Amino acid sequence: MEPAPPVPRPPSHRPSPASGPPASPGSAGPPRLGWLDALRGIAALLVAVDHSSYAFMAEFRGQLMPQLNIGRYGVMVFFLVSGYVIPASLERRGCVRTFWIGRAFRVYPLWAAVVGSVLALDLLGVAHLGARFDGRNPVTVAVAHVTLLQELLGTPSVVLVLWTLSYELAFYLLVVALFTVRLHRRSATVAVALGALAAVSATAAFVPQASALSSAVGTGPLVALTATALVFAVLCGSSTTSALRVPGAVAGGVLALVLVPFNGTVPLWEGLVILAVIFLGTAVRRAEGGEITWPCAARTAAVVLICAVGSAYEHGAAAHFARRGWIAAFLLAVLTFGVALALRRRRFPRALTWLGTVSYSVYLVHPALLAVSDSVIGRYRRDSPVLEAAFLAVLLPLAALTHRLVEVPGQARGRERIRRMRST
């Protein structure tokens, strides 16, 4: 789950792609939206609680998960928020190159710090990456991770939560492609189409197995081809020459549409639902900006909801989680987003908005902290709310520290890089 850039409150008129970049923390201009920060904070905290409950609240987790998968709930909230803000960030900049630069400096610094820390902990015998990497070419694994698409390339993630970044990047590629060919305002149509495809795939007689492309052509060749295609898509899509920009952007969109359905590790229908949910967030943003009507956004939400729930019922037994728990998580995530949207003009508690500010650190750092905890104190058979609270009490200050020392400098370097590029 990748962090989303701060965005100003949308205007009542149609937004202009040339209206400039979004306001950043500490800059002059419109403030960050508190409701989005609150949603990010809640989502990140719930994912951390979901994973730490394996160690400290196993009995409670066993009772809760069949009814509500809180990890998937947090992830879906994050995806809705990303859909709401990411396309707006690109369109406000009006430049694919600055979009990719901003994303890279926002995502990679903390990603590199956490992945490096986990690898170091594994070498020290503290974290145990396990047998999932046995027999795998380390170069292939490294390249797959650097692309952020490892979850869609048949390669296990060094840090398990990185799987969501692969779907986020696939969304970015689609957004850039749509923006480049001037179809970016069709978010509602895209969301409905993806939802419908998910429903059809759930009832199809033949459905590709997980990592089908990796099985067919081999993980190594697929990673090499994807890395080449991704570099081509980003470099050419960022070009100022239309002869290169359009083919590059389209190649990136095609890459996403091939990898998500045919090489994901989640069921095919869920991969499509994830993309539909993200584009649903975009459709809501467009309704708020006056680009589409609210009834259109409501119809889009209804179709996505029906298709997602229907797909889960059809193939719940094949999923990696209880069917009821996934459906409850999905519906609650959409409801939470809707309630927060309705309350968007109100002031949210400062604690929640602060938690949203450090949410990316909470999300990426907590698995590393859990690895240390497992090595030092182990896992408990009985529920221990005290240890769960102690874990969170250590996690939040640590996340604040990594945010200040890693994220903020990375964002500053990204803004400086964009400023220099614009001044030349």
pLDDT at 23: 35
Do the beta carbons of residue 116 and residue 368 sit within 8 Å? no
pLDDT at 129: 78
Place of tokens 């990375």: 410
pLDDT at 5: 57
pLDDT at 197: 94
Do the beta carbons of residue 31 and residue 23 sit within 8 Å? yes
Do the beta carbons of residue 165 and residue 82 sit within 8 Å? no
How far apart (Å, rounded) are the C-alpha atoms in residues 281 and 343? 16
Do the beta carbons of residue 78 and residue 37 sit within 8 Å? no
Nearest to 4 by CA among 281, 287, 259: 281
Say whether 19 sits in a helix, a strand or coil.
coil
Do the beta carbons of residue 40 and residue 78 sit within 8 Å? yes
Q: How does pLDDT run across 392-414, given as a tens digit for each residue?
A: 999 999 999 999 999 999 999 99
Do the beta carbons of residue 263 and residue 149 sit within 8 Å? no
> Where exactly are the structural domains of the chain?
29-96+104-116+322-424, 129-320
Q: How does pLDDT run across 332-348, given as a tens digit for each residue?
A: 999 999 999 999 999 99
Do the beta carbons of residue 156 and residue 137 sit within 8 Å? no
Give the list of residues 6+ apart from residue 76 with CB closer than 8 angstroms, or none: 277, 329, 330, 333, 334
- Low pLDDT (below 70) residues in the chain: 1-32, 205-206, 314-322
Place of tokens 């029906």: 306
Nearest to 315 by CA among 258, 262, 268, 277: 268
Nearest to 273 by CA among 367, 124, 167, 379: 167
Nearest to 230 by CA among 266, 211, 258, 209: 258
Say whether 185 sits in a helix, a strand or coil.
coil
* φ, ψ (nearest 5 deg) of residue 125: 80, 10
Place of tokens 């009490």: 393
Q: What's the whole-model pTM score?
A: 0.90
Alpha helices in 264-315 (DSSP H): 268-288, 294-315
In Å, what is the CA distance from 77 to each residue of 31, 70, 139, 318?
21, 11, 34, 23
Alpha helices in 94-129 (DSSP H): 96-123
How far apart (Å, rounded) are the C-alpha atoms in residues 50 and 419? 40
Do the beta carbons of residue 371 and residue 126 sit within 8 Å? yes
